[in-house]
A and B are shown apart, each in its own frame.
Chain A
Amino acid sequence: MEFLRAASVDEALAAAGDGAAFVAGGTNLVPDVLFGRKKIARAVDISRLDELRFIEEADGKIRIGALATVTDLLDSRLIRDAAPPLYESALEFAGPLVRNRASVAGNLMDASPAADLAPPLLSQDAVVELASGEGERVLPLSEFFLDYRKTAARPEELMTAVVIDPLGTADRCAYYKLQLRRAMAIAVVGVAVVLRMEESVCEQAAIGMGAVAAVPYRASAAEAHLRGKEIGEAEIEAAAAAAADGARPIDDVRASGAYRRKMCGVLVRRLLKKALGMPHAAAV
């Protein structure tokens, strides 16, 4: 394997394609190469492109540079205040040794169905910025994951930033990662919910789901039971049932598909109640 350190984004883009892979934190790619799960002709090291490592507020959005690490998310006041589900997912992400290296873009580019950052980013209407020698384009994260470990990014494209809507005083949110131990675990189910309330009416609902289908996704059918409604027990039950119905989980070493599906309903119900401050939500 050839190794090339890019000194700039342009240099990285020039070295892309033809079996090349970008490597940042390396927390997924390095063992994939070591154990032969991925064959790459050339590793293009982007880990020192400091211009891609930032978290900033711009034009009413939060821009997260591709190389912001998961530790950077935890250290960011902006993320803590205006993206609580993302902050909480970073708390549950692997352990500190991995968080110190793993980048936000790497977690998305790896395209694991269980990518921890995907459900909260989806719940905040994330858009990803992709650059190549031919220019830049933006894509909603909900259209980025195409199939199991398959993304809309072309081989020569570099993810440069992820942009999300900050949550404000009208937003209610909650996040939960169901996992088999307290750290270093791959999610059994990951759910993030965001509700924008106008008085007692839900103006917007966003529910990001992880580890329960080939890709992380928005539970649109569940959201439709909430949007434009005054949310009571009936709406919550309908959304929970729709979330369970919409899941396409597999059986694996961590859980059966049937259990995951059931937990989709349980977690969506609990998280909606938690977000809205309704009783009987203490279990999450």
Chain B
Amino acid sequence: MSTYEIKFSVNGNDEILAVRGEETLLRALRRVGYVEVKLSCEGGDCGACAVLLDGVAVNACLVFVAQADGCEITTVRGVGTEDDLHPVQEQLIEKGGVQCGFCTPGIVVSAKALLDENPEPTREDIQRGLAGNLCRCTGYKKIFEAVSAAARQMKEGGDS
């Protein structure tokens, strides 16, 4: 069985891994402890494993880990920390956009990517931006409200 040594950074930490050719980025990240990246459908349908790969939001289950050699990966814990939450995280708490919480890491990553590209999204922009992330608890309404509020919060922060 072929194994390969690869290097990448996760939330600014350099990682060196021995990987198999067919191993996915999702499984490799979880194997070395980044279990905030959630394993669910493994088919690109649910978005629970969303990460930023060189700044682009992708499903970690749809990438061979060897393809990520040399890349910068950001998980939900790189978007914000407990002591320094990203506005999306703050507003998900504030608006009640988290119930069971399983989809939340992916939602945060997709919402951050959306707001980085489009700081003043309409409701439709937000719905489209999160279209690859399934949530079975909230009905999405409070999630959309949270992203909208996060956009306003970031704009006000930027103006001050």
Interface positions of A (Cβ within 8 A of B): 1-3, 5, 23, 25-27, 30-31, 33-35, 42-43, 45, 47, 94-98, 100-101, 182-184
Contacts and interface: CB of A to CB of B under 8 A. Distances in A.
B21 A30 contact: no
Q: Which 9 A-B pairs have the closest CB atoms?
A: A95-B132, A183-B131, A3-B21, A97-B132, A95-B131, A1-B21, A1-B22, A3-B66, A31-B43
Given A3-B4, A97-B58, A43 B21 contact: yes
Contacts of B129: 96
B62 A5 contact: no
A252 to B, nearest CB: 17
Interface stretch (B7-15, B44-52, B148-156): B44-52
B20 interface: yes
B31 interface: no
Contacts of B45: 184
Contacts of A30: 24, 61-64
16 contacts: A3-B64, A5-B67, A23-B64, A26-B63, A31-B61, A31-B62, A34-B22, A43-B22, A94-B44, A95-B132, A95-B133, A96-B110, A96-B128, A97-B50, A98-B44, A98-B59
Contacts of B35: none
Given A97-B50, A98-B62, A26 B131 contact: no
B72 interface: no
A135 to B, nearest CB: 28
B57 interface: yes
Contacts of B22: 1, 3, 33-34, 43
A95 B21 CA distance: 26
B132 A23 contact: no
Contacts of A26: 62-64, 67
Contacts of B24: 30, 34
Contact of B2 (A1, A33, A98): A1
B120 interface: no
B56 interface: yes
B42 interface: yes
A127 B42 CA distance: 33
A176 B64 CA distance: 33
B69 interface: yes
Contact of B131 (A1, A2, A25, A184): A184
